[in-house]
Amino acid sequence: MTKEILLEIKNLVTEFRSDDDIVKAVNDVSFSLSKGETIGIVGESGSGKSVTSLSIMRLIPNPPGKITGGEIIFHSTTNGKVDITKISETEMRTLRGNEIAMIFQEPMTSLNPVFTCGNQVMEAILLHQHVSKQEAKAKTIALFIKVQLPRPEIIFDSYPHQLSGGQKQRVMIAMAMSCSPNILIADEPTTALDVTVQATIIELMQELQRENDMGIVFITHDLGVIAELADKVVVMYKGKIVEQGNVLDIFSNPQHPYTKGLLACRPPLDKRLKWLPTVSDFMTVNASGEISENKQSVNDITQKLVVTAEERALEHQAMYAQQPVLQLKNLKTSFPVNKGMFGKPTAFVNAVDDITFDVYPGETLGLVGESGCGKTTLGRTILRLIEPTSGSIILNGQDITHISSREMMALRKDIQIIFQDPYSSLNPRITIGNAIMEPMQVHGILKNDAARKKRVIELLERVNMNEAQFNRYPHEFSGGQRQRVCIARAIALHPKFIICDESVSALDVSVQAQVLNLLNELKREFNFTYIFISHDLSVVKFMSDRMVVMNKGRIEEMGDADSIYNNPKTEYTKKLIHAIPKGLLNDIKESIEKKKQILI
């Protein structure tokens, strides 16, 4: 049975103009969305997928952007068939947030920092629905419960900065769902979420889709999510659609080399590779933008990269015969949650609770767990960015738990951190060259700025950037490029130990593969030791020698990364592994059958 069409995009062109150039960010894009259907849009940063969604919402900033061609036909419940490119802003406001809703990628910039989360969701309800403030508040709290926010009444009165990244994203999802829209556009809505919450949110979206016969445009770099959620897939590259079709066809028999490359970039769960294939392994692009296919299959490429169990055992035997570079003994970090009349804490939460483990030179130790499990707090406690409550941190045989700030400053060049959000890690007023040079100046690395600049240029080239970019500012780069800048800054001081805190979670799958390969190359070249923190268990498994699974501040399970994945001991770890979207053909077929059964 053919479903009623909700949205038709015909030959859409969206341009961005500068003084000397015109960029077609979306170039002749066409697809349609029906009731109850989910379309997954995939592609690298700069492919045009987010600009397509912003064009549908009429949120392209003008200037410099403008829709210059094509049609966006929306079949509105209240207004009938309308071309979104031609209606007035007043008419568009009646649709936006009501019949067409959007979940944005970065919740911190989407939420107003001066209003509570509850008031921001209530605002959307009061604007589009004829209800009282009491009813709007009750509906908001019900939505918070539905998206599994803890302590919904408290979060209603909380400000965005008081919530974790995953919690902020769930507030955004509640806001988008508040008016039961006909179309939901979700732009990387689960990027900041751990796998179990991601699975819950996807189930929630599917449930709401079934209730309202809603159409979903789902933009993501996670092809595993697309495999389990989408009915159709649209693959975009440099503003154009290079391939589209039903999800099973795209995953089982991709035709375009770019699609083949995207599918191969995902860290595999059934084998261990030396490094991840990237898009460039499958295609080359000449100076005029023409694509030619490299005639290698995914199996041919990955087979050459497989690490055998014997190779891994020999490497680990040598690694674990050394003295540990870091030792944590009964480490605890507590935060006050309730205070008495005179401001004295009356109750505490143990964010890090009795953690003990060693890390060896040249090792990558993976820290994985759900949002709020304590992994980021542990990373910052090791660096003394958060002071521990009790226990010991021993770095290269020296107990650094209680040393002075001056002594700690001297050690900081040996132990660095790469944060999750590269944009907030960089000063927007300082060029990227100076951002990399600054810590070298603080620690007196090299004799003068001329020598330091030369070293910075070498570092930029080492992370696949170039000298011409030295004087550019953070906003002029993509997310992947900004993360490369942060990596260059971290290694500028020749550290022995680097903590990577969700350092690839915001990157699309092909850029993620490049950055993970780069981190492994740098590890081999400089003999770095990593603690790799992530909610993405598949990435942690690829990167790590050993894995620590955390839950509610404590160690749930610890051991060889492959052994934990293949034979998890605890129910919590089994739940994490089960929630990973694997993108296997059998899973896709099962998902299609489920949808058919629901329709019957």
Shared domain for 410 and 316, answered yes or no, is: yes
Over pLDDT 70: what percentage of the chain?
A: 96
Taking a C-beta distance cutoff of 8 angstroms, is the pair 549, 543 a contact?
A: no
Is residue 588 included in any domain, yes or no?
no
Shared domain for 256 and 332, answered yes or no, is: no
Instruction: Count CB atoms within 10 A of the CB of residue 298.
Output: 16
What token pair was written down for 264?
């191969």
Shared domain for 510 and 530, answered yes or no, is: yes
Residue 100 CB partners (closer than 8 Å, separation 6+): 56, 57, 74, 181, 182, 183, 185
Domain's final residue, options 148, 178, 208: 178
Is residue 587 included in any domain, yes or no?
no
Regarding predicted confidence, which is higher, 219 or 598?
219
Is residue 10 included in any domain, yes or no?
yes
453-475 mean pLDDT: 89
Shared domain for 476 and 501, answered yes or no, is: no
Shared domain for 82 and 195, answered yes or no, is: yes
Shared domain for 141 and 244, answered yes or no, is: no
What pLDDT band is residue 538 in, cutting at 50, 70 and 90?
confident
> In which domain, by residue range, is 447 found?
433-492
Is residue 573 included in any domain, yes or no?
yes
Residue 176, pLDDT score: 87
Shared domain for 141 and 259, answered yes or no, is: no
pLDDT digits (tens, 9 = 90+) for 102-125: 988 766 677 889 999 999 999 989
Query: For residue 267, is pLDDT > 70?
Result: yes
Sheet strands side by side (includes 497-501): 415-418, 497-501, 529-534, 364-368, 546-551, 554-560
Shared domain for 389 and 446, answered yes or no, is: no
What token pair was written down for 585?
């053909």
Alpha carbons 280 and 261: distance in angstroms, whole number: 7
Residue 138, pLDDT score: 94
Shared domain for 356 and 504, answered yes or no, is: yes
Amino acid of residue 121? V
What token pair was written down for 510?
């092909």
Is residue 117 included in any domain, yes or no?
yes
Q: What is the CATH number of the domain that holds 550?
A: 3.40.50.300
Burial of 18 (0-12, 13-18, 19+ CB in 10 A): exposed
Is residue 364 included in any domain, yes or no?
yes
Is residue 428 included in any domain, yes or no?
no
pLDDT digits (tens, 9 = 90+) for 120-135: 999 989 988 888 999 9
Number of domains forming the structure of the chain:
4
DSSP 360: -
Shared domain for 405 and 440, answered yes or no, is: no
Shared domain for 468 and 556, answered yes or no, is: no
- For 7-45, give the secondary structure using H, E and C: EEEEEEEEEEECCCCEEEEEEEEEEEEECCCEEEEECCC
pTM of the full predicted structure? 0.82
Regarding predicted confidence, which is higher, 153 or 106?
153
Backbone angles phi, psi at 288, to 5 degrees: -90, 5
Domain's final residue, options 151, 178, 205: 178
Is residue 289 included in any domain, yes or no?
no
β-sheet bridge partners, residue 174: none
Shared domain for 478 and 506, answered yes or no, is: no
Residue 599, pLDDT score: 56
Domain's final residue, options 118, 149, 178: 178
